[in-house]
Amino acid sequence: MGRLTRTHVIEAVIFLLVVVIFYAFSFEFNQPIEIYRFGATAWPRVVIGLLLIATLGNIWFQYKNGSAAQGTIGQSDDEADFSEPGTILRMFAVLLTPFLFAWLLKPVGIYFSAPFFIAAIIWLFGERRWKAILVMTFVIYVLFIGLFLVILNAPLPQGNTSPFYDFSAWVLTMNAKLQGL
């Protein structure tokens, strides 16, 4: 195994999977283009081929040098420390919460879901004083509404299920009344 670690192997497997999947799917659009000799597959397949070479080179480098850096410019120093199970759990929640929020945008709308999302993120970032969470949630929500609804009238997702849709409609009506003053 040389200086390869489990993380290196997982990383290599993921990239090789990407190569295999994209190569396999390239047969779905393998049609000639009358005006272009190389067709629609040539460019993606060259990229896939180069990615395969770079992935193999990366494995070779990690086999010889482990996680050593090569001193490229502006290299990332974002090193993870997942020794604590609590850290893993919290990161999992941090990664999942925005997805849940995005998924709720269609049925619930942004006007109703935003305050809960804001409060959840503040909490997940380690704030435990409930007064601070409430005040900052309110401030951020007001900023968001003020900028995008009151000033810019931006069309945002309103939700499509009751009572969330009704709530969005109420917010928009209030804004229209405010504009009319």
Residue 114 touches another protein, criterion: CB under 8 A: yes
Binding-site member from 144, 165, 167, 172 for another protein (CB under 8 A): 144
Give the x/- contact pattern for another protein in 66-105, rule: CB under 8 A: xxxxxxxxxxx-xxxxx-x-xx--xx--xx--xx-xxx-x
Residue 179 touches another protein, criterion: CB under 8 A: no
In terms of CB distance, is 1 or 36 closer to another protein? 36
Nearest 5°: the CA angle 167, 169, 171 is 70
Residue 142 touches another protein, criterion: CB under 8 A: no
In terms of CB distance, is 116 or 167 closer to another protein? 116
Q: Which of residues 36-65 bind another protein (CB under 8 A)?
A: 36-40, 43-44, 47-48, 50-51, 54-55, 57-58, 61, 65
Total binding residues toward another protein, as defined by CB under 8 A: 81
Binding-site member from 1, 6, 85, 126 for another protein (CB under 8 A): 126
Q: Which two tokens stand for residue 157?
A: 């997702």
For residues 144 and 135, give the distance between their C-alpha atoms in angstroms, rounded to a whole number.
Answer: 14
**Nearby residues of 72 by Cβ (< 8 Å), 6 or more positions away:** none
| Amino acid sitting at position 81 | D
For residues 6 and 13, give the distance between their C-alpha atoms in angstroms, rounded to a whole number.
Answer: 11
* Nearest partner of 98 among 80, 82, 116, judged by Cα: 116
Residue 24 touches another protein, criterion: CB under 8 A: no
Per the document, the length of the chain is 181
Residue 172 touches another protein, criterion: CB under 8 A: no
Confirm if 114 and 139 have CB atoms less than 8 A apart. no
Residue 143 touches another protein, criterion: CB under 8 A: yes
Residue 152 touches another protein, criterion: CB under 8 A: yes
Q: Which two tokens stand for residue 66?
A: 């482990």
* Nearest partner of 178 among 140, 150, 144, 138, judged by Cα: 150
Minimum CB separation of residue 117 from another protein in Å reads 7
